[in-house]
Amino acid sequence: MELANTRYNNVLSQIKQEKTKRRRELLETLRKNKWALASLYIIIALCAMSLVSFIYTPYNPFQFNLAIARQPPSLSHPLGTDELGRDILSRIMYGGRYTLGISFISVTLGALIGVALGILAGYNGGKVDTVIMRIVDIMLAFPTILLAIALVAAVGQGVKSLILAISITTFPVYARLVRGTVLQIVNEDYITAAKLIGLSSYKIMVKHVLPNTMSVVIVQMSYYMGLSILLASALGFLGLGVPPPKPEWGTMIGGGRIYFFSAPHIVVIPGIFIFITSLAFNLLGDGLREALDPKLRGLLRRG
């Protein structure tokens, strides 16, 4: 018995080793995609920049000084100053917490609601499915930006309503996507096998259905990070997002807009940051899709 136990102990440690190895392989695949990797580094850098702003910015991002207003980039102000003479670099750093933070929270929130609804609808089918999908269809009947505008207009401006608006406009997409995936999964034999061994519906959803939808969700989340950043900054630009003087990037463009012809850098610089961030998430999404999509990976096993 003693001997048998050691034998199976070995098996168990092998299983653990194998699992860590697999996880590393997945990272390797991602790492091989140089664009995705570069995007990941850019995203990390942007996040780090936003975090640093909590303890340090070169200047006070709210301190205005009309004497030095609208100065182009220089040694003392590397990204120049804005219409009120505030240091743009400091404002970009400080504003990252809004642009990135709002997108991140609302994308996560939207994904949580959407995934839960999608799994409920797809797994249960029948009336639950009909009701949920009807709601989703109705929500999808609103153009994204419009629904967000309507919500912000109704609730009033601010960070919270922005998060609410973005998550409400995005959850139906997750719900529909996940439901589609779940409908495929529930017809697979391993779900039937799980029923046969007597697992409860809840356990089947959590252990067998959910993990198999995750790759789709993660890829979608990455794309939606890109989209949310555009959405949040567009609302900011229209004056419906994070209200000034808070330096959300879109709000910064909206504020500097009238001085655009004389001092284009006030508009151009925040725009570049928005563009790069959004682009990075889109590229990361592409990379994740390649690394996670079993179809693309399956191709390697042909013949």
Residues of span 61-80 touching another protein by CB under 8 A: none
* Token pair in block for residue 190: 């391993």
Contact at 8 Å (CB) between 80 and 88?
A: yes
When binding is defined by CB under 8 A, the residue of 29, 57, 268, 293 that contacts another protein is: 268
Residue 40 contacts another protein per CB under 8 A:
no
Pick the binder of another protein from 3, 8, 67, 295 (CB under 8 A).
8
237: its two tokens: 């630009």
Peptide bond before 264: cis, by omega within 30 degrees of 0? no
Q: How far apart are CA 288 and CA 255, in angstroms?
A: 36
Contact region with another protein (CB under 8 A), list: 46-54, 59-67, 115-123, 233-241: 233-241
**Residue number with CB closer to another protein (8 or 56):** 8
CA 81, CA 87: separation in Å to the nearest integer? 5
Task: Select the span of 41-49, 72-80, 82-90, 205-213 touching another protein (CB under 8 A).
Answer: 205-213
Amino acid at 97: R
Tell the smallest beta-carbon distance from residue 281 to another protein (Å): 8
Spell out the alpha helix ranges (H) of 54-87: none
Smaller CB separation from another protein, 107 or 149: 149
Assess 261 for contact with another protein (CB under 8 A): yes
Q: By CB under 8 A, tell whether 27 contacts another protein.
A: no
Cβ(99)–Cβ(160) under 8 Å? no
Q: Which of 46, 234, 242, 284 binds another protein (CB under 8 A)?
A: 234
Q: Are 162 and 241 a contacting pair, CB within 8 Å?
A: yes
Residue with tokens 């009120």: 84
3 binds another protein (CB under 8 A): no
Q: Considering only residues 108 through 167, tell me which ones interact with another protein, judged by CB under 8 A.
A: 130, 134-135, 137-139, 141-146, 149-151, 153-156
Q: Which is nearer to another protein, 75 or 262 (CB)?
A: 262
Cis bond upstream, residue 58 (ω within 30): no
| Residues 164-193 within binding reach of another protein (CB under 8 A) | 187-190, 192-193
For residue 226, the minimal CB distance to another protein (Å) is: 6
* Through-space distance between the first and last CA atoms of the chain, rounded to whole angstroms: 44
